[in-house]
A and B are shown apart, each in its own frame.
Chain A
């Protein structure tokens, strides 16, 4: 970031500035012309490396930003509709659907803003996916979904949409603290043969181009995200896995204790940004 002004000036001088847009765009994200989302705000004070936080939305091209602003254009919303059907579908030995106990999906309002969180009964940090599988296995007597199964990722989208516009607000103290600290350590550890940490790219160089990619802060308030690249919804842990792999490192598994801890830490870096409820990214 420090170098950015210089680099941009140099590119302008060379006449290369056209397609490279270095800064995040300070534009408003108003979904369906009615719900205004917070995509840029002050960083939480426990994050030393950032003054301001930005949603990944602000780093995408104008066309991509526009798709997210309208649910009719947002292909991610089709998967939310699929999940709505699954929400009402009776499955498993108990003969129940999600709706049997939870009623309308709108009962999930606010749930996404505090995930992941410490679960007293389990004595562990749980992500949204863990809560869903707990209900499937122990309350419906149905089979657990895999972390990145289509039904699972779509269901996390349906639940996230209910919190659209609400600020992310995960707890980092109390029993969550050791997880948060482990996540922070991971965030700053330079892994793989390329020896890169999350912070190298998403803290020190957000706003900069790395080859054809415009680096964001790697925030997760928009997840699950619809990616134009693979035309489906992508989970938080799948995204982490991709970024770790790209440092030529051995990755962790989606659903692993390591990715739970990292999820909590990364989520806390975005406390204050709105839940987007199916973000669109490239």
Chain B
């Protein structure tokens, strides 16, 4: 799966000049971010701890993070329709550090090269960005998919998902 995703990117970049369809600006984020080598982000984006209850909403609600569109999460089983694009998030709080989870939420592609997971704090460097789901062209920088606070809340919630 990965190799294919990478090939797709290579193709898009390689042909960008030819067709002009794949032009993109520089990659930007909603704030200055220091990624470590492994893609993790040590510092809180808000300077304070997140709220795990709000974080559960970020994962479950279609209009916010809509994480369960792609992930199964047993703790959120009251919300219907969990997808199976990414791995189950059960136990992620034991598998990853807080800094790693923050890094995955800010820009998952820094941790998992070519990942299908969206880059939730990214504001620029997209191909044909649109205004939300209207299909109309948008000017970068875009508002990020999640705010700093929503990311910290989601990280706090993910940290509660420990192996039993």
Contact = CB atoms under 8 A, between A and B. Distances in A.
B12 A190 contact: yes
B51 interface: no
B84 A7 contact: yes
B90 to A, nearest CB: 8
A14 B83 contact: no
Interface stretch (A112-120, A131-139, A207-215): A207-215
Interface residues of B, number: 48
Interface stretch (A28-36, A88-96, A141-149, A243-251): A243-251
Contacts of B18: 185
Nearest to A248: B130
A234 B8 CA distance: 28
Interface stretch (B37-45, B63-71, B94-102, B156-164): B63-71
Given A14-B74, A22-B84, A209-B81, A245 B5 contact: no
A20 to B, nearest CB: 7
Given A190-B8, A193-B142, A3 B130 contact: no
Interface stretch (A60-68, A154-162, A194-202): A194-202
Contact of B8 (A11, A189, A208, A212): A189
Contacts of A6: 87
Nearest to B118: A194
A192 B129 contact: yes
Contact of B129 (A208, A248, A258): A248
B84 A250 contact: no
Interface in B128-159: 128-130, 132-138, 142, 145
A211 B84 contact: no
B80 interface: yes
A7 B72 contact: yes
A196 B9 CA distance: 10
B159 to A, nearest CB: 21
A257 to B, nearest CB: 11
Contact of B133 (A10, A11, A199, A246): A246
B81 A211 contact: yes
Interface string A7-22: 1101100101000101
B21 A189 contact: yes
Given A189-B22, A210-B69, A249 B128 contact: yes
Nearest to A7: B84
A99 to B, nearest CB: 38
Contact of B83 (A8, A192, A200, A210): A210
A91 to B, nearest CB: 32
A179 B135 CA distance: 23
A190 B70 CA distance: 17
B135 A251 contact: yes
Given A3-B1, A204-B4, 20 more contacts: A7-B87, A14-B72, A185-B15, A185-B19, A188-B12, A190-B12, A190-B127, A192-B127, A195-B119, A199-B5, A200-B116, A209-B82, A211-B62, A211-B66, A212-B81, A248-B132, A249-B126, A250-B129, A250-B130, A250-B137
Interface of A: 1-4, 6-8, 10-11, 14, 16, 20, 22, 49, 182, 185-186, 188-197, 199-200, 203-205, 208-212, 241, 244-251, 258
